[in-house]
Structure 1
Amino acid sequence: MTVGKWAVCVGVCVALATGSAFAAQPSEAQVRELMQVMNVPGQFAVMNNQMAAMMSQQLPCVPASYWQTYIDKNGVDQLTKAMIPAYQHHFTADEVDGLIKFYRSPLGQRLVTEMPATMAEAAQSGQQWGRQRTTDMFSALQKEGKLDSQGRCPGTGSDGGGAATPPGGGSGQ
């Protein structure tokens, strides 16, 4: 057996041993079904509402109703199609089938139902933690003399366009 054939044989054996090299890629239909049972279109609606609220604050001259159509039916179709390759890249057809089975189960549906509120609470906790952590670190840097009381590098006379202020204005709240 030549070295080339031997290398191919070893490669095939390793691939078979790991099982992933020849695993079937999920079809577009499988991924679409998974996205449906995971309520991805509902998540797009939540994203659209959040984006509309943000844009209405940033551009009050534009009616809020304008932004409500940002992710319209055509946008949902385009976004879904754009996301399918990521699922196909990271999951096999068997794994997608297993995920569909899970998300159709009572526990899977509970996860779908509770995840938006869970993620919102977790994000709020993360923001609070981040504000406190930044305030604590700024305080330590000030005690070490690396930052002045305004959050700037001491002796520079300038903050380079703005003092480095901890999120929340440095109040630690």
Structure 2
Amino acid sequence: MKKLLFTIALVSIGFTAFAQQSSSIETKAIKLIELTSGQQFDIMTEPLVKMVPEENREAFKKDLAQSTEELYKKMATVYTESFTEEELDKILAFYDTPVGKKMVAVTPELTKKGMEIGQAWGMELQPLIAKYTK
């Protein structure tokens, strides 16, 4: 009986340690996602917020925030499959440097301008597409 209790205790400790490690790496992945994509998600969801009548916007924003949190958790799985915890630590350390902070600050504007350039390029491609689809 003592052996069984000891085994159960060891297994429980192992699962707890794994869960803590998993949650630690997940937390770091979510932090990275927030740093690198959070402002872009805000930009992308802004038109959605404007579609909701003014009297419902605050409630919508709360639900949207909860939905975004779930999205980040799902995305964190992809990050934790691609990066070790040590690698995430190093990436996060970069984003804590002056140039990393600047990268976070200018990324939304870069994204916006990049989208505008991409849309213009797509329009420029119309004649080329027409040439090969006739």
Q: TM-score range by the shorter chain?
A: 0.5 to 0.7
Could you tell me which runs of 5 or more consecutive residues in structure 1 were left unpaired when the two chains were aligned: 1-23, 57-61, 148-173
List structure 1 segments (4+ residues) > 6 angstroms apart after TM superposition. none
Note the 1:86-101 alignment, pairs <5 A: 86-101=78-93
Could you tell me which runs of 5 or more consecutive residues in structure 2 were left unpaired when the two chains were aligned: 1-20
Which structure dedicates a bigger proportion of its chain to helix?
Answer: 2
Note the 1:23-172 alignment, pairs <5 A: 27-36=25-34, 38=35, 40-53=37-50, 56=51, 63=53, 66=56, 69=60, 72-138=64-130, 140=131, 147=134
Which whole-Å CA distance do the structure 2 matches of 1:126 and 1:44 have between them? Answer: 18
Counterpart residue type for residue 35 of structure 1: I
Count residues with an aligned counterpart. Answer: 111
CA RMSD of aligned residues (A): 2.8
Distance 1:124 1:41, change over 3 A: closer
Greater Rg, structure 1 or structure 2? 1
Q: TM-score, normalised by structure 2?
A: 0.65
Sequence identity (%) = 23
Q: Report the counterpart of residue 169 of structure 1 in structure 2.
A: none
Q: TM-score, normalised by structure 1?
A: 0.53
Counterpart residue type for residue 27 of structure 1: I
Distance 1:65 1:111, change over 3 A: farther
Q: Is the 8 A contact 2:49 2:57 kept in 1?
A: yes
Q: Cα deviation per residue 1:36-92 (whole Å; 9 max; x = unaligned)?
A: 4x1544433223213334xx3xxxxx5256466255332232222222101101111
Q: Is the 8 A contact 2:25 2:80 kept in 1?
A: yes
